Structure 1
Amino acid sequence: MYKKMMMCAAALGIALLSGCASVPMESVEKNQELKAFPTPPENQVGVYIFRDSVLGGALKKTVKIDNEVVGETAPNTYFYRVVSPGPHVLATESEFSDNTLSLNTVAGKNYYVRQSIKLGVFVGGAKLQEVPEAEGQKGVASTELAR
């Protein structure tokens, strides 16, 4: 009986993680403009946060920069924010507490951060990882701009 309950729970977990969440999206024009990867405004930094995986499709995960909510990600979405140069802490909602990533940024540069979903005990968790420019641009190119 216990084994049967565990299998049902696992099947339910997989079903929940494989649905499809949606979030508000930006215009096609704004999306195309940012996929040209423009240089940030003078004395500023560009930060792309993208989720290029369909794992955990039913999950939306909040992302923050310096404790300010950027928005919620869904599968194949990204955000772009302009920040001041210097140290920043990015955070993503995870199963029990936020997972964080520290970035020490330089003016005039774009930074690329991948959010990935991982299976958890009750719901999926999430993590953030800075990636090289080429990998980040490829990830952003395969996603759409969330609002």
Structure 2
Amino acid sequence: MNKRMIIGALLSLGLAGCATHGCDTSQAGSACRVDYLLYQNDMLQAKLLLNERRPENDELASALLERAARDDTTGEAAFYQAILLVRQNASPALVDDKLNDAADANYPLAIALLAQRAGTQDPDKASAYRARYDKLDVATSGYPSFPQALIVVNQLVSPGN
């Protein structure tokens, strides 16, 4: 359980990013701030539910992610939707669509997972994803490194972690 809590904290604090709404989210009581807080709440709840790995949580997690996706500009919601789809053994095309949506927004974990998924079937494509990851701000800062990102995505998609 401690490993899951650490991963959850890493994801919610270190990689969570924040939705950019084009308005001032720092002004208490503003409609923009309320929307931002609700988005953050939906993402946090969804990640906690996913972290529990209980199938009975999937429907609520999916609903929260769907609602968060409306305001998400970071790709985070699409990434976690893809994680949920992987766990539900959805079609690879559907998973890849969500991962590509997240990668289009430069969500680091989505790019790492796409690289890993392509690695066995298309090494050139995997290399392209790896190069794309290496150009991200998080990669140039050194956290998370590509190997660290792979550890996180493997723990998210592997059964029983």
TM exceeds 0.5?
A: no
> Could you state the TM-score of these two structures normalised by the residue count of structure 1?
0.27
> Could you state the TM-score of these two structures normalised by the residue count of structure 2?
0.25
Q: Considering only CA atoms, is the larger Rg found in Structure 1 or Structure 2?
A: 1
Indicate the structure with greater helix content: 2
Indicate the structure with greater strand content: 1
